[in-house]
Structure 1
Amino acid sequence: MTDRRSVVITGTSRGLGFAAACHLYRRGWHVLAAMRSVDTGLEALRAATGAGDDDPRLTGVALDLTDTASIEAAAKSIEAASGAPYALVHNAGISAAGMVEETPDSLWERMFATTVFGPVALTKALLPGMREAGRGRIVLVSSQGGVRGMPSTAPYSAAKGALERWGEAMAGEVAPFGIGVTVLVTGTYDTEIITDAGTTDCRDLAGVYAPHHATMDKRGRAAMRMAARSPEKFAAGLAKALDSTKPFVKQPVGPDARMLMIANRLLPSAGLHQMTRLMMGIPRFGALGGRRNG
């Protein structure tokens, strides 16, 4: 590409966001890398890309999506560095494991603050400039949990589902101003978020859901080992999505996400529920009725 477009990417200190920032920088974009630990994160990005300390195409932006003041300051920093950005990529997210009964309210609040409320606030702050410019793209990074609610990840699935519905609604609002919206449904990628270190674990492995956890953990880890792809493949998919001129696009990035989206279109909800149960080894309906912990 010859024009120097600017892109804001949240959650760039690691994982998919880090890979995307590196990939787009190498393609000539002005990358505004938003993250909580901006000093260490920007240093890592410079090391990975070869960017110099004074490179105008790599700008660090301090951002905590759970803090209103941080979001407001980040929006001002972005506009000062690049004017109205061409693209805004909402990638930042957190992961958690645990049944609904096991997950505390504080986790649900943090999940929605990071995945929905914070991104909405940042978008609202940047939209006036993007509307004035009359062009741009907003990309919402979803996942398989946004397509279909997955057992043991209810807060994550709920937040990603809300993210997708927000994107669908917003697309109709901003399209007349020349701004498109893309929902990227990611498959399984080899990042920290799928590991124990990157997940808030709320599971009670000795509680009433122990029969679920024992099988789901074993099968889930095996599936991740087989299906996980390099984050660079996601970055390439994101780069293609940013070149779209359609007012709204929802597309998979990864073969497992593609298969789930096809199944979601073709199969009835009851069929998908049963397929998920069998794949995860969850006991049949009523199998644990009347059982008590201890």
Structure 2
Amino acid sequence: MSSNPMTGERRSVVITGASRGLGLASATKLYKRGWRVVAAMRSPDTGMKVLRAATGAGDDDPRLVGVALDLTDPSSVTAAAKAIEDAVGAPYGLVHNAGISAAGMVEETPTELWERMFATTIFGPVALTKELLPSMRRAGAGRIVLVSSQGGVRGMPATAPYSAVKGALERWGESMAGEVAPFGIGVTVIVTGTYDTDIITDAGTTDCRDLAGVYARHHQTMDKRGRAAMKLAARSPEKFAEGLAKALDSEKPFVKTAIGPDARMLLIANRVLPSAGLHQMTRLMMGIPRFGAMRSGGSSND
């Protein structure tokens, strides 16, 4: 479904982080389904070549528009919002997909990384949404989609900044949904499972781990188990794109949904198990030593 049910016009969607991974797959899927796609990315000169090759679109195709967007730069956000409205007017869909990943314990991750993580995942997206909401309200229809992850459901060891921003993203979406629903705008929070993209590889992650430091024992076990789990669980980004296309068709004021079997299982476990139980389950799955096992002079047996 690519037409606006209120006007019959072709619907438009803005996707951030559209040059790679889930964003690239989603932009390609929606374009092929007839949407007008505004692909927001840091480097359109290179990213749009990849996207046009994936979609088969020509350089002057009005249904595929590239917009420069650096979510950490307020002036770039303002310029991107103007470019979006100049290209498609009020977008029907606004998909906040862009994000960065990092590995490292809280002690190991620098404050600058936390700041950059929040700027990319929270502050920039909030600013872009604020710029576009007036036109979306006037249009009386639309859907804002926030791409979260399993880390937004449950804080995961060695990814505290990432888990923190995804948790904040979900609380933002829940709050905003109550505000914009009376204007005909819905909000969807998508909890993603594990997908085969750069963000789960060394190439897509800022690695802050000190493999010879006090958390070396954690890292050795967690790295081995994490890579094995990702190899088993990772699905094609196209599977996510199919779920996103369905999410954009929702007419409910607020939806929180999982895309991927591992994400669905976590949402169920989060509803059924107490928080302490989930903590223990996470510890055992990741091979983290038991409470107190690494105290000075304490036993190292798990």
Q: Which residue of 2 aligns with 1:102?
A: 108
**Deviation, structure 1 residue 291:** 6.5
Q: Which runs of 5+ in 2 are unaligned?
A: 4-9
Task: Among all aligned residue pairs of Structure 1 and Structure 2, give the percentage whose two residues are the same amino acid.
Answer: 83
Structure 1 residue 166 and structure 2 residue 175: aligned? no
- Amino acid aligned to 1:115: T
Q: Which residue of 1 aligns with 2:22?
A: 16
Aligned partners of 1:12 and 1:136: how far apart in 2? 19
Which of 50, 53, 56 is the equivalent residue of 2:56?
Answer: 50
Over 3 Å counting, the alpha-carbon distance change for 1:157 and 1:2 in structure 2 is: closer
Aligned partners of 1:235 and 1:144: how far apart in 2? 17
The Cα offsets for residues 245-270 of structure 1, whole Å up to 9 and x where unpaired, read as: 00000000000000000000000000
SS at match of 2:138: helix
SS at match of 2:107: helix
Contact 2:2 2:33 (8 Å CA) reproduced: no
Which of 118, 135, 141 is the equivalent residue of 2:124?
Answer: 118
Q: Which residue of 1 aligns with 2:76?
A: 70
The Cα offsets for residues 22-79 of structure 1, whole Å up to 9 and x where unpaired, read as: 0000000000000001111111111111101110000000000000000000000000
Q: Which residue of 2 aligns with 1:216?
A: 222
Structure 1 residue 285 and structure 2 residue 267: aligned? no
Contact 2:136 2:142 (8 Å CA) reproduced: yes
The Cα offsets for residues 133-163 of structure 1, whole Å up to 9 and x where unpaired, read as: 0000000000000000000000000000000
Aligned partners of 1:145 and 1:16: how far apart in 2? 17
Structure 1 residue 7 and structure 2 residue 17: aligned? no
Over 3 Å counting, the alpha-carbon distance change for 1:83 and 1:213 in structure 2 is: same
**Mapping for residues 127-166 of structure 1, pairs under 5 Å:** 127-166=133-172
Structure 1 residue 39 and structure 2 residue 31: aligned? no
Q: Which moved more, 1:282-291 or 1:96-105?
A: 282-291
Aligned residues: 292
Structure 1 length normalisation: TM-score? 0.98
Aligned partners of 2:55 and 2:36: how far apart in 1? 13
The Cα offsets for residues 105-147 of structure 1, whole Å up to 9 and x where unpaired, read as: 0000000000000000000000000000000000000000000
Q: Which residue of 2 aligns with 1:89?
A: 95
Q: Which residue of 1 aligns with 2:262?
A: 256
Aligned partners of 1:58 and 1:176: how far apart in 2? 30
Structure 1 residue 239 and structure 2 residue 215: aligned? no
**Mapping for residues 198-217 of structure 1, pairs under 5 Å:** 198-217=204-223
SS at match of 2:244: helix
Q: Which runs of 5+ in 1 are unaligned?
A: none
Structure 2 length normalisation: TM-score? 0.96
Contact 2:2 2:11 (8 Å CA) reproduced: no
Instruction: Let me know the Cα RMSD of the aligned residues.
Output: 0.9
Contact 2:41 2:70 (8 Å CA) reproduced: yes
Which of 36, 39, 58 is the equivalent residue of 1:30?
Answer: 36
- Amino acid aligned to 2:92: Y
Aligned partners of 2:54 and 2:88: how far apart in 1? 22
The Cα offsets for residues 167-209 of structure 1, whole Å up to 9 and x where unpaired, read as: 0000000000000000000000000100001000000000000
Aligned partners of 1:220 and 1:2: how far apart in 2? 38
**Mapping for residues 261-276 of structure 1, pairs under 5 Å:** 261-276=267-282
**Deviation, structure 1 residue 290:** 1.9
